[in-house]
A and B are shown apart, each in its own frame.
Chain A
Amino acid sequence: MSSAAATWRGLGDRIRELPRPVVWAIGAAVLVLLILLPFAYQPASGFIDDCVTALAYVVMALGLNIVVGFAGLLDLGYVAFYAIGAYVIGWYGSGFFAAIAGGKGLHVWAESAGALPGIHFNFLIVLVVAAVYAALAGMIIGLPTLRLRGDYIAIVTLAFGEITRVFAINGADIHPFGKDYPLTLGRQGITPIDPIDLPFVKQFDPLNLRPWYWFALAMVLVVLFVNFRLRDSRLGRAWIALREDEVAAASMGVPLVKTKLKAYATGAAFGGMSGAFLASYLNTVNADQFEFSFSIFVLAMIILGGLGSIWGVVLGAVALSFINSRLIPDVLNGVPHKVGLNFDLTELSFGIFGFLLVIMMVLRPEGLLPERRRQIELTEGVGGDETLYEARA
């Protein structure tokens, strides 16, 4: 272990050893700094733009962390929940269903939408609906995996992620509720999407990114709070028990089916919320956003940060999303298609991204800020069933 890594670890331990009020004070100071951060930049600066995206990714990564990090269920199809969240706002927060109510539109607490056609729900409602839909989808996807373990779960979730993408692409030809109501708009994309419209606040403006930033920050704080509370709850302990040893957990009275489904549902709900937010922020819901590589991208965040470690995941998500937004500007818009268009230096960045992943993992496989439990396992050799196999080179 290099000395730099040792310092990192020492820092983490030292923070843990500080008295609680000091920790709280540091936390509050950091939070105030984060809240004030946008004032240091132009309202529409690229940096704030990257920050908003990074915060939305943090929400997603924290959601996936519940499934993969806590419950140990390797999910390679997380992009499905991003898609579902995004399509929820596409359906319930845009002019997509223009034919509804005879072209007059359906509005629920959405004053700023005026008399526009289409369904326009208030963003908070959309957020809840997105979370519920995604959670339901999470449970449906989880059901076939209940009997499976490890990498087999990965394959099934991967398959569902790809199926979701195919439906998103071909959705324009599917009309479940009559010919005026297709499922999606495929690659053409549903646009524009309603900007966030909160009660008592002016509707969010695409040119002033500060409110978006604050909203995303608030979402991160809520999700962080939920994550910590869940981790330390009975359910969270059940997830971790499940991850460590399924058979032992079951014989100790952990209900496997319920516990697993709850993990899928909770993780998916966060993905859905973040998806709805991102769709509103990006102002489009395009089938090309839901590539398999996005699932891998989010997974890379949590593994890089340290599986199961909440702060690690936050760090990993912020780090990767900045690497990504600085190095690979177009990853969201469909890596292959955009990258494939012409030659310039940004094309190399995709390889650089891969290179960084390899280097970081080889140097620090347990992640940047590993979960304490795992760190102890790895350094002291307690409970070693997470390794590929024990035989050492």
Chain B
Amino acid sequence: MEAASVPARTTRTASLDAARRLVSHYGLIAVLMILPVAYGIHDLRVDGDLSRLGENLKDGVSNGAIWALVAIGYTLVYGIIELINFAHGEVFMLGSFVSFSFWSALGLTLASKGAGLLFGLLLTLIVAMVACGGLNVMIERVAYRPLRNAPKLAPLITAVGFSFILQNVGLEWLGGSQRGVDDLIKAQNDLFTIGGVHITHADVLAVAVTVPLVALLAWFVTRTRLGKAMRATAQDPEAARLMGVNVDTTISLTFLIGGMMAGAAGLIYALYQTTIWFFQGFQAGLIAFTAAVMGGIGNIQGAVLGGLIIGCIQQISDNRIGGEWTPAIVFAYLVLIMVFKPQGLLGEETREAG
């Protein structure tokens, strides 16, 4: 897989190449702008202002923050061992379950207010992150590490196997139907309004948890020794090993971080949507993975950007076209991106895409 250039390229003429470069640079951005611009014009003509589109985009960003956190887990793991971690969506789902069970155990209810609520939720966040991080590390130990030298598809199957197991765990835990949870933060109440767009408690929560976490992660990956080891392992595991990086520890660390992000996302999701169920991880996993690919797999900023974009596409589609078509639209975007720009928005050409 080392040779990345496609031989057909040599036969193309220069002008075609130039056209392709143009499409690959700007085509994707143009494609992404279609929906918002079209509905923006529509809103201006029908409503006279952009508040409805603004509302959609605001919902998109706060939902997208959840997908971004999940997508980070995919992108980190893929970047380092080139595995689509199918169990990751389920880790996110269990993050929601752990959060709900933990805050119930703490005694947080609709009546909780102020400092008590804040402290309780912070504690829940930490517990969910630690639990999911630990779970992810355990999955790597049991299901992926023994298969490092196996055919490439073997760990994919264990990933799927684990995702089934975890779904079953979720099913036995809280039952098969959607479970409503206490609306602890009064998610849909307005906090304030800007330009006709209502900012709710849930929006603030999503952003307030995601931004510090992502910032912390970015600092960790770019500034610390362990982060450097992660990047080195992602680039070339063997060379990293030769340079004295403990590759196994680094991979475990990657899974730990990915799982922690998923745990945080699980808590936000539970507070935001106020319903959780054992199957939520499946759809979330697909969406988040799409986000990771859209941003450029292996790239943390890309995953965040991809998550936000997917969130916006989803909200616009839910609100305007109909929720039943949303998956098709999200995946149609994914295919377009793969065609125009396989390396994603911020990604570089990898061993796989080229």
Name A residues whose Cβ lies closer than 8 Å to a Cβ of B: 68, 74, 144-145, 147-152, 154-156, 158-160, 162-163, 165-167, 169-170, 247, 250-251, 256, 292, 296, 299-300, 303-304, 307, 336, 339-343, 347-348, 350-351, 353-358, 361-362, 365-366, 374, 378, 385-393
Contact = CB atoms under 8 A, between A and B. Distances in A.
Given A300-B160, A388-B81, A366 B168 contact: no
Contacts of B42: none
Given A154-B84, A350-B164, A388-B149, A358 B142 contact: yes
**What class of interface size applies to chain B in its complex with A?**
35 or more
Nearest to B83: A388
A150 B149 contact: no
A331 to B, nearest CB: 11
Contacts of B167: 350-351, 354
Interface in B43-100: 78, 81-84
Contacts of A304: 157
A159 B291 CA distance: 13
Contacts of A378: 151
Contacts of B248: 393
A362 B158 contact: yes
A361 B147 contact: yes
Interface stretch (B28-36, B122-130, B320-328): B320-328
A362 B147 contact: yes
29 contacts: A148-B342, A151-B352, A156-B335, A158-B286, A159-B332, A160-B335, A163-B332, A170-B324, A247-B5, A256-B8, A292-B282, A296-B160, A339-B171, A340-B171, A340-B277, A342-B176, A350-B168, A351-B164, A353-B164, A354-B160, A354-B164, A358-B143, A365-B151, A366-B150, A366-B151, A385-B1, A386-B151, A386-B152, A389-B81
A108 B238 CA distance: 64
B107 interface: no
Interface in B261-304: 277-279, 282, 286, 289-290, 293
B155 interface: yes
Contacts of A362: 142-143, 146-147, 158
Interface of B: 1, 3, 5-8, 78, 81-84, 142-143, 145-158, 160-169, 171-172, 175-177, 237-238, 241, 247-248, 277-279, 282, 286, 289-290, 293, 324-325, 327-328, 331-332, 334-335, 338-339, 342, 352-354
B146 to A, nearest CB: 5
Contact of A357 (B161, B175, B237, B327): B161
Contacts of B5: 247
Contacts of A365: 147, 150-151, 154
A162 B158 contact: no
Contact of B327 (A162, A358, A366, A385): A162
Secondary structure call for the B interface? helix
A251 to B, nearest CB: 6
B328 A155 contact: no
B328 A156 contact: no
A166 B325 contact: yes
Nearest to B145: A393
A392 B160 contact: no
A151 B153 CA distance: 10
Contact of B175 (A159, A160, A169, A343): A343
A357 B157 contact: yes
Nearest to A381: B149
Contact of A343 (B83, B168, B176, B238): B176
Contacts of A160: 331, 335
B162 A354 contact: yes
A342 B148 CA distance: 39
B328 A167 contact: yes
Given A163-B332, A304-B157, 8 more contacts: A150-B1, A151-B84, A152-B353, A159-B290, A159-B334, A160-B331, A162-B328, A357-B161
B338 A155 contact: yes
Nearest to A247: B3
Contacts of A386: 151-152
A392 B7 contact: no
Nearest to A164: B328
Contact of B155 (A159, A348, A388): A388
Given A340-B177, A361-B158, A152 B338 contact: yes
A354 B168 contact: yes
Contacts of B1: 149-150, 385
Contact of B353 (A149, A250, A347): A149
Contacts of A392: 148-149
User: Which among B160, B163, B238, B334 has the highest number of chain A CB atoms within 10 Å?
Assistant: B160
A158 B328 CA distance: 11
B207 to A, nearest CB: 28
Contacts of A251: 7
Nearest to A74: B153
Contacts of B158: 357-358, 361-362
B328 A147 contact: no
A307 B154 CA distance: 10
A148 B248 CA distance: 29
B176 A340 contact: yes
Contacts of B147: 361-362, 365, 388
Given A163-B331, A247-B3, A387-B151, A355 B165 contact: yes
B290 to A, nearest CB: 8
B324 A166 contact: yes
Contact of B293 (A155, A162, A165, A385): A155
User: Which among B6, B81, B145 has the highest number of chain A CB atoms within 10 Å?
Assistant: B6
Given A348-B172, A351-B164, A162 B143 contact: no
Contacts of A361: 143, 147, 150, 154-155, 157-158, 161
